[in-house]
Chains A and B, each alone.
Chain A
Amino acid sequence: MEVFGSAQKPTRRQAIYAGKKEETEDIFTVNFFLDPPYFEDITLQDFETYALERLKVLRIFENAAFKTTRGSPEYHDLILKELPKEMRYRYVRPLNGTAEDVILENRRLDVLSHFILRMVFSRNEEQKRWFIQQEVDLFRYRLSGETAGSVGAFFRVSNFNYTPLPDEEFRNIRPILEKSTFFKHGQISVDTEFYKLDFLEALAMVKKRHVFLSMGYAYVPRRLLVEVVADRFRDYLGLEIARLSKIILESQEDTRLLPVMAKLAVGYTGKDYSGGELDFGITPENLDQLSTESFPLCARNMHEHMRKDHHLKHEARLQFGLFLKGIGLSCDDAVRLFRQEFSKHGISEKQFNQGYKYNVEHQYGRVGRRVNYAPPSCTKIITTKPPNGPLEHHGCPFKHFTGSLLEQRLKTYGLPPKDMDAIKELAQKGHFQGACTKYFEFTHRKKLTTVVDQIQHPNQYFEESRRLIDPDSVKDRPPIFSRRRPVLNAIKTEPGNSQAFSQAPPDMSDMDTDFHMTDAEMEEAMRAHEMEVDPSPGDNVAV
Chain B
Amino acid sequence: MSLKAPFNPDELPHHLSVYYRRFFPYSLFHRWLNYGHSDTGHFFALREFCFTLKDDVYLRYKSFETQKELEKGIQEYCPHKIDIGPVYSARIKDVKLNPLIVPVERELIFDIDMTDYDEVRLCCSSANICSKCWPLMTLAIKVIHRVLTEDFGFQNILWVYSGRRGIHCWIADKKARNLKSPARHAIIEYLTLIKAGLQGKERRAVLSNFDLEYQAVSKSLHLVRNHFLKNLVRDQGLMESEKGLAKVLAMLEDQELIAKVRAAIEPISGSERRWDKLTDMVGDYVASKKRNQDSWKTSNMLDELQVMFCYPRLDINVSHGLNHLLKSPFSVHPKTGRVCVPINPDQADQFDPFAVPTIDQLLEEMSDYDKAHPPLSATGTGDEPTTVPTKPPIPDWKKTSLKEGITIFETFVRKLEINWKREKAKENIKTEPVDTDF
Residues of A within 8 A of B (CB): 176, 179-180, 182, 199-200, 203-204, 206-209, 212-217
Check A206–B214 contact: CB distance below 8 A.
no
Query: Which residue of chain B is the closest to A177 with respect to CB atoms?
Result: B215
Chain B residues 177-191 with CB under 8 Å of chain A are 179, 182-183, 185-187, 189-190
- Please tell me if B210 contacts chain A, counting CB pairs below 8 Å: yes
Query: Smallest Cβ distance from A43 to chain B, in angstroms?
Result: 44
Interface residues of B (CB under 8 A from A): 150-154, 175, 179, 182-183, 185-187, 189-190, 210-211, 213-217
A180 touches B213 (CB 8 A): yes
* B157 CB, min distance to chain A CBs, angstroms: 13
Q: Do the beta carbons of B190 and A209 come within 8 Å of each other?
A: yes
Q: In the complex, A217→B187 CA distance in Å? A: 13
Q: Which residue of B lies closest to A206 (CB)?
A: B186
Subset of 23 A-B contacts with CB under 8 Å: A179-B214, A180-B213, A200-B183, A203-B182, A204-B186, A206-B187, A206-B190, A207-B185, A207-B186, A207-B190, A208-B189, A209-B190, A209-B211, A209-B214, A209-B216, A214-B150, A214-B151, A215-B151, A215-B152, A215-B153, A216-B151, A216-B152, A216-B175
Residues of B contacting A212 in the complex (Cβ-Cβ under 8 angstroms):
215
Contacting residues, chain B, for A203 (C-beta < 8 A)? 182-183, 186
CA distance A212 to B216 in the complex (A): 8
A208 to B154, CA, bound (A): 20
CB distance from B184 to the nearest CB of A (A): 10
When the two chains form their complex, are residues B215 and A180 in contact, meaning their CB atoms are under 8 A apart?
yes
* Residues in chain B near residue A208, CB distance under 8 A: 189
Interface centre among A200, A209, A214, A216 (most CB of B within 10 A): A209
How far apart are A522's CB and chain B's nearest CB, in angstroms?
Answer: 46
B151, B175, B211, B217 — which one has the most chain A CB atoms within 10 A of its CB?
A: B151
A224 → chain B, closest Cβ, in Å? 14
Tell me whether A179 and B213 are in contact in the complex, defined as CB-CB below 8 angstroms, given that A206-B190, A207-B190, A213-B151 are known contacts.
yes
In addition to A204-B186, A209-B216, A215-B152, 11 A-B residue pairs with Cβ atoms within 8 Å of each other are: A176-B215, A179-B214, A180-B214, A180-B216, A199-B152, A200-B175, A203-B183, A206-B189, A208-B189, A212-B215, A213-B216
A213-B152, A213-B190, A217-B153 known; A179+B185 contact, CB < 8 A: no
Closest chain A CB from B426 CB (angstroms): 16
Q: What are the residues of chain A within 8 A of B187 when measuring CB–CB?
A: 206
User: Given A213-B152, A216-B152, A216-B153, A179 and B215 touching (CB < 8 A)?
Assistant: yes
Of chain A, the residue at the smallest CB distance from B173 is A216
* A contact residues around B186 at 8 Å (CB): 203-204, 206-207
Q: Which residues of A contact B213 (CB under 8 A)?
A: 179-180
Closest to A208 in B: B189
A207 to B151, CA, bound (A): 13
B149: nearest residue on chain A (CB-CB)? A215
Residue of B nearest to A199 (CB): B152
How far apart sit A355 and B217, CA to CA, in the bound complex (Å)?
73
CB distance from A53 to the nearest CB of B (A): 36
Residue of B nearest to A198 (CB): B175
Contacts of A200 in B (CB 8 A): 175, 179, 183
**What is the bound-complex CA distance between A186 and B213, given in angstroms?**
18
In the assembled complex, the CB of A493 is this many whole angstroms from the nearest CB of chain B, namely 53
Residues of chain B lying within 8 A (CB to CB) of residue A216: 151-154, 175
Q: How far is the CA of A69 from the CA of B182 in the complex (A)?
A: 25
Docked pose: A276 CA to B187 CA in angstroms: 59
A458 CB to nearest chain B CB (Å): 34
Q: For the complex, give the distance between the alpha carbons of A182 and B210 in Å.
A: 7
Within the assembled complex, what's the spacing in Å between the Cα atoms of A203 and B211? 18
A338 CA / B269 CA spacing, docked (Å)? 86
Chain B residues with Cβ below 8 Å from A182 are 210
Q: Which residue of A lies closest to B187 (CB)?
A: A206
Determine how close the nearest CB of chain A comes to the CB of B20; give it in whole angstroms.
38
Residues of the A chain whose Cβ atoms lie less than 8 Å from the Cβ of B153: 214-217
Distance of A213 Cα from B151 Cα, bound (Å): 5
A212 to B154, CA, bound (A): 16
- Measured CA separation A179–B190 after assembly (Å): 16
Contacts of B151 in A (CB 8 A): 213-216
List of A residues within 8 angstroms of B185 by Cβ: 207
Docked CA distance A206–B182 (Å)? 11
Complex Cα spacing A38 to B315, Å: 53
How many angstroms between the C-alpha atoms of A112 and B190 in the bound complex?
42
Within the assembled complex, what's the spacing in Å between the Cα atoms of A215 and B151? 5
Across the interface, which residues of A come within 8 angstroms of B152, CB to CB?
A: 199, 213, 215-216
Chain A positions within 8 Å of B154 at CB level = 216
CA distance A102 to B183 in the complex (A): 44
Closest to A211 in B: B214
- Closest residue of A by beta carbon distance from B188: A207
Those 8 A-B pairs whose CB atoms lie nearest each other, nearest first: A216-B153, A215-B153, A207-B186, A203-B186, A207-B189, A179-B213, A213-B151, A180-B215
Q: Tell me the minimal C-beta distance from B159 to chain A in angstroms.
A: 20
In the assembled complex, the Cα of A442 lies from the Cα of B185 at a distance in Å of: 36
Which residue on chain B has the smallest CB distance to residue A212?
A: B215
Question: Chain B: which residue is nearest A179 at the CB level?
Answer: B213
A182 — nearest CB in chain B belongs to which residue?
Answer: B210
The docked-state distance in angstroms from the alpha carbon of A206 to that of B211 is: 13
- Whole-angstrom distance between the Cβ of A63 and the nearest chain B Cβ: 30
Given the complex of chains A and B, what is the CA–CA distance between A180 and B215 in angstroms? Answer: 6
By a CB distance below 8 angstroms, the chain A residues around B211 are 209
Closest beta carbon of chain B to A176's beta carbon, Å: 6
> Which of A215, A216, A217 is the most central at the interface, judged by chain B CB atoms within 10 Å of its CB?
A216
